Structure 1
Amino acid sequence: MSTTELHEQLKDRLGVESADDSVVTLGAVGALCLLGSAVAFLIGSPFTALPLAGFLFTVGYGLWNHQATTAKALTFLATIATGAILALITVYLIIEAFPAIREMGLAMFTKTSGRMWITRGEEVYSLVPMMWGTLVTTVLAMLIAGPLGVAGALFISEIAPDAVREIVKPAVETLAGIPSIVYGFIGFTILNDYMMENLDLPSSGSLVIVGLVVGLMALPTVVSVAEDAISSVPESMKSGSLALGTTDWQTIKNITLPAAFSGVSAAVLLGVGRAIGETMAATVILGHAQVLPEPLYDVFGNTETLTSLIASQYGVASSTHMSALFAAGVVLFVTVTVLSIASQYIERRMQIQLQGDT
Structure 2
Amino acid sequence: MTQNHNETEVSIKEQIKKFMVKGFYGFNTILTFGLGRRLGIFDYLYEKSMPLSEYKTISSITFTPEELSENLNLSLVHIDAWVHMALECGIFEIDNQLTRSLKTAPHVFNLLVNRDHMFYIGDPMGLFYYMAPLQDFLIDVFKTGKMDINLLSEEILIAGQRASSKNGELTERIFSKKYRDFCRGIKKQGTVLSVGCGYGFNLEKWARKYKRTRFIGIDIEPKGIKYSKEMIKNHNWSDHVEVFEIPVDEYSKKTEFKFDLIILNQVLHEMDKDEEYRRNIFEDLYSIMKEDGILLVGETMVPDTFAPKQRPQLFEIMHKVLEAGFARFYNETSFKKLIALTPFKNAELTVESGTSFWVVRK
Query: Highest relative contact order (Cα 8 Å, sep 6+), 1 or 2?
Result: 1
User: TM-score, normalised to structure 2's length?
Assistant: 0.24
Between Structure 1 and Structure 2, the one with more helix by share is 1
User: TM-score, normalised to structure 1's length?
Assistant: 0.24
Between Structure 1 and Structure 2, the one with more strand by share is 2
